[in-house]
């Protein structure tokens, strides 16, 4: 899979992919990432990429010409183009998985007051947001998108089963994790994890995941969001807390 990032601050990506699973994927050539300076696609001596918006508002808007040239220069057949924007579809596990199935994803990093709307309407396949807030630009968001999508590319994460168990991949948050020591400052690891009963452990994990989801992200645990079996498990956790 190939990611192409178009930005006016390419130096921001110098270290962001220099470690972790994405770095290992780059070293093994499982994923490729190319960062392109938008100013390289200008034609004037000042390498101007922005201008004042029509209508008299404050701020600057990224011009369409260099963005169109940049995308047309780097996009391969079948490649998808996305603008990082607060108005876009919110990045979640489902979208990250969709992106990972593409052969190429081109990410345009917005800046200033935004990007000329002709880029949105006639060049990009869509817009992506990483949350309901505004950043100084799309560079940090692009890095998040690459990391989230790359995890779903086969061969990026050593044990692909760990990706399937990540929070949100099953529609709910992840279950609690423990490691050595078995007891720390009087805090003990739940005994069920040492029972050797795998079915019992899986049931406990599911219950704890549902409990955490209901507590921290109730929007994911509404009446229509859970299966009848999960609703029964969640009811059990509530009854257990009452009996404590």
Task: Report pLDDT for 237.
Answer: 86
Tokens read off for 228: 């009848």
Predicted confidence at residue 229, as pLDDT, reads 94
pLDDT tens digits, one per residue of 137-175? 999 999 999 999 999 999 898 655 556 556 566 789 999
Same domain for 118 and 212? no
Query: For residue 181, is the peptide bond before it cis, meaning its omega torsion is within 30 degrees of 0?
Result: yes
Q: Are residues 45 and 95 in the same domain?
A: yes
Domain-located, residue 139: yes
**Residue 62 DSSP symbol:** E
From 65, 98, 166, 174, active-site residue: 166
Reported as type and span, the H/E element at residue 72 is helix 64-74
Say whether both 137 and 232 belong to one domain. Answer: no
- How does 108-123 read in b/e, with b if 16+ C-beta sit within 10 Å? bbbbbebbbeebbeeb
Cα torsion for 207, 212, 214, 218, to the nearest 10°? -150
Which of 50, 151, 211, 230 is catalytic? The answer is 151
From 24, 53, 69, 86, the catalytic residue: 86
Residue 220: CB atoms within 10 Å: 16
Do 189 and 146 fall within a single domain?
Answer: no
As averages over each run of 10 residues, the pLDDT of the chain (244 residues) reads 98 94 94 98 97 90 98 98 96 96 98 94 98 95 97 82 61 92 97 97 95 93 88 88 65
pLDDT of 153 reads: 94
Q: Find the catalytic residue in 65, 113, 147, 236.
A: 113
> Is position 28 annotated as part of the catalytic site?
no
CATH code of the domain in which 32 resides: 3.40.1280.10
Q: Is 37 one of the catalytic residues?
A: no
| pLDDT at position 61 | 96
177-189 in b/e form (b: 16+ CB < 10 A) is: eeeeeeeeeeeee
Domain count of the chain?
2
Residue 66 among the catalytic residues: no
- At 124 the pLDDT is 98
Please answer whether residues 130 and 95 qualify as being in contact, where contact means their C-beta atoms are separated by less than 8 angstroms: no
Query: Is residue 113 among the annotated active site residues?
Result: yes
Q: Which domain holds residue 74?
A: 2-150
Q: Is 224 exposed, middle or buried (0-12, 13-18, 19+ CB in 10 A)?
A: exposed
């Amino acid at each position: 899979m190939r990611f192409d990032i178009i930005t006016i601050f390419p130096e921001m990506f110098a270290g962001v992919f220099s470690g972790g699973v994405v770095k290992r994927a780059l070293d093994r050539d499982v994923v490729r990432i190319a960062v392109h300076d938008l100013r390289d696609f200008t034609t004037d001596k000042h390498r101007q990429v922005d201008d004042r918006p029509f209508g008299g508002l404050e701020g600057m808007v990224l011009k369409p010409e260099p963005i169109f040239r940049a995308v047309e220069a780097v996009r391969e057949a079948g490649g998808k183009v996305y603008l990082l924007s607060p108005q876009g579809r919110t990045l979640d596990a489902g979208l990250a998985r969709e992106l990972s199935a593409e052969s190429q994803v081109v990410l345009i990093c917005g800046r200033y007051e935004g990007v000329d709307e002709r880029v949105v309407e006639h060049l990009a396949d869509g817009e992506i947001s990483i949350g309901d807030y505004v950043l100084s630009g799309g560079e940090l968001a692009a890095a998040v998108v690459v990391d989230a999508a790359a995890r779903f590319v086969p061969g990026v994460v050593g044990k692909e089963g760990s990706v399937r168990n990540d929070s949100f991949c099953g529609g709910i948050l992840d279950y609690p994790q423990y490691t050595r020591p078995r007891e720390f400052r009087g805090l003990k690891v739940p005994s069920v994890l040492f029972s050797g009963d795998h079915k019992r452990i899986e049931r406990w994990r599911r219950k704890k995941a549902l409990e955490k989801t209901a507590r921290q992200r109730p929007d994911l645990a509404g009446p229509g969001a859970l299966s009848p079996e999960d609703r029964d498990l969640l009811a059990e956790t509530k009854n257990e807390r009452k009996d404590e």
